[in-house]
């Protein structure tokens, strides 16, 4: 686990590789590190963070968040004793069952203002 304790490759499973593959050809995407976790920005705006908790979708529109939450468990992102309730975290087990690519895309498009 990283010193921050927010990312462990084994606990996150293939989430980082999956997010990398999904976003690799999207315009304006940069892979970076935030909170010690693999993170994704679109034209400089954060839209996803992969952590031990799962994939945090930072810009998911309300309608997409409601759709996701209706079918799969969604949690708030927690870091440094703070909870970021606006971010929808899809836990690793749920990420394999849901259409994660769809929700990554929705968060990406919202970050780009599309």
Mean pLDDT of 86-96: 87
- Give the residue ranges of DSSP H helices in the chain: 9-12, 15-23, 62-71, 92-97, 100-111
What is the CB-side half-sphere exposure of residue 70 using CA atoms within 13 A? 6
- Distance, in Å, from the CA atom of 99 to the CA atom of 62, rounded to the nearest integer, reads 17
Total domains in the chain come to: 1
Asked if residue 65 belongs to a domain, the reply is: yes
In a domain, 3, yes or no: no
Instruction: State mean pLDDT over 28-44.
Output: 94
* pLDDT band of 77, cuts 50, 70, 90: confident
User: What is the span of the domain harbouring residue 97?
Assistant: 9-111
Q: Is residue 4 a part of any domain in this protein? A: no
């Amino acid at each position: 686990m990283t010193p921050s304790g927010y990312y462990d490759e084994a606990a996150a499973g293939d989430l980082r590789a999956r997010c990398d593959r999904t976003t690799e050809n999207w315009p304006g995407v940069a892979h970076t590190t935030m909170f010690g976790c693999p993170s994704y920005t679109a034209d400089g705006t954060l839209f996803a963070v992969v952590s031990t908790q799962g994939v945090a979708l930072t810009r998911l529109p309300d309608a997409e968040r409601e759709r996701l939450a209706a079918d799969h468990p969604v949690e708030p992102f927690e870091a440094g004793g703070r909870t970021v309730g606006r971010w929808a975290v899809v836990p690793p087990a749920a990420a394999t069952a849901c259409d994660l690519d769809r929700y990554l895309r929705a968060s990406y498009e919202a970050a780009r203002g599309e």
